[in-house]
Chain A
Amino acid sequence: MSENVPKKMALIASKGTLDWAYPPFILASTAAAMDMEVKIFFTFFGLPLLKKNLKTAVSPLGNPAMPMKMPFGPKFFQNISWPIPNLVTSNVPGFESVATGLMKQTFKKKGVATIEELRDMCVEFDVELIGCQMTMDVFGFEKEDFIDGVNIGGAATFLEFAADADITLFV
């Protein structure tokens, strides 16, 4: 352990899609691995990331910069970014599940951890996970819906820690 006071990082995770779930868990687990003290405040659509049974998905609709790529076939084929019109992404039933499946497969092939793995690492490295009480009330979550060890709090709980944090990010 370092003799110095550890650096602190305070994150707000406000989005729960597969793509937006990665940054807070990657940063938190890595910061903890770098001996920092880390707390993540999960609010609004970020709150479901604390659920025992994670169901993260990604939608190409409204994500115009998201490359649509295939996780199989020869390299040139995998590198093609498929131009899929909004008419298809928004109207073809099940398109979102397909896009989510393709992205998860691509991540797996490239050796990227799953959200569950990164979250487990955070717990193992003593990252404090704080669920937003107000969001729980609004969307009808109970503490039992979340993984063990989650603390519940509000804006003041986060700000008290964030006031002394060296890094503060809103994701």
Chain B
Amino acid sequence: MTDYNEELDCSGLNCPLPILKTKKAVDKLESGQILKMVSTDPGSCNDVEAWSNRTKNQLLESGKEGDKYVFYIEKK
């Protein structure tokens, strides 16, 4: 279990909303702070990874909790 500074719930949202909301949430963080993002969209697994590769905000950890996907992202 990773510690985090903010949590964003994207449950029920479909592409591209989880990515757009993640970007907005990460923008509000300070460098080094961590966002926990939760989604139900299976597409967000690949999308969050792609987004993090491109923006260099690091995807520290991802996994499944029940029927939800959970991502921990550290702002660059």
Residues on A facing B (Cβ under 8 Å): 2, 26, 29-30, 33-35, 110-113, 118, 121, 125
Contacts and interface: CB of A to CB of B under 8 A. Distances in A.
Contacts of A26: 15-16
A19 to B, nearest CB: 15
Interface range on chain B (Cβ under 8 Å from partner): 10 to 19
B20 interface: yes
Interface in B13-33: 13-17, 19-20, 22-23
B42 interface: no
B13 A30 contact: no
A99 to B, nearest CB: 20
Contacts of A113: 13-14, 16-17, 20
Contacts of B41: 111
A33 B23 contact: yes
A54 B41 CA distance: 27
Given A111-B14, A111-B41, A112-B14, A30 B19 contact: yes
Contact of A35 (B12, B19, B55): B55
B17 A33 contact: no
A111 B13 contact: yes
Contacts of B15: 26, 112
A55 to B, nearest CB: 23
Nearest to A33: B23
Nearest to B55: A35
Residue with the highest number of chain A CB atoms closer than 10 Å, among B20, B23, B56? B20
Nearest to B51: A34
A33 B19 contact: yes
B32 to A, nearest CB: 16
Given A26-B15, A35-B55, A111-B12, 7 more contacts: A30-B16, A35-B54, A111-B13, A111-B14, A111-B17, A112-B14, A113-B17
Contacts of A125: 23
A27 B42 CA distance: 19
25 contacts: A2-B55, A2-B56, A29-B16, A30-B16, A30-B19, A33-B16, A33-B20, A33-B22, A33-B23, A34-B23, A34-B50, A34-B55, A35-B55, A110-B14, A111-B12, A111-B13, A111-B14, A111-B17, A112-B15, A112-B17, A113-B13, A113-B14, A113-B16, A113-B17, A125-B23
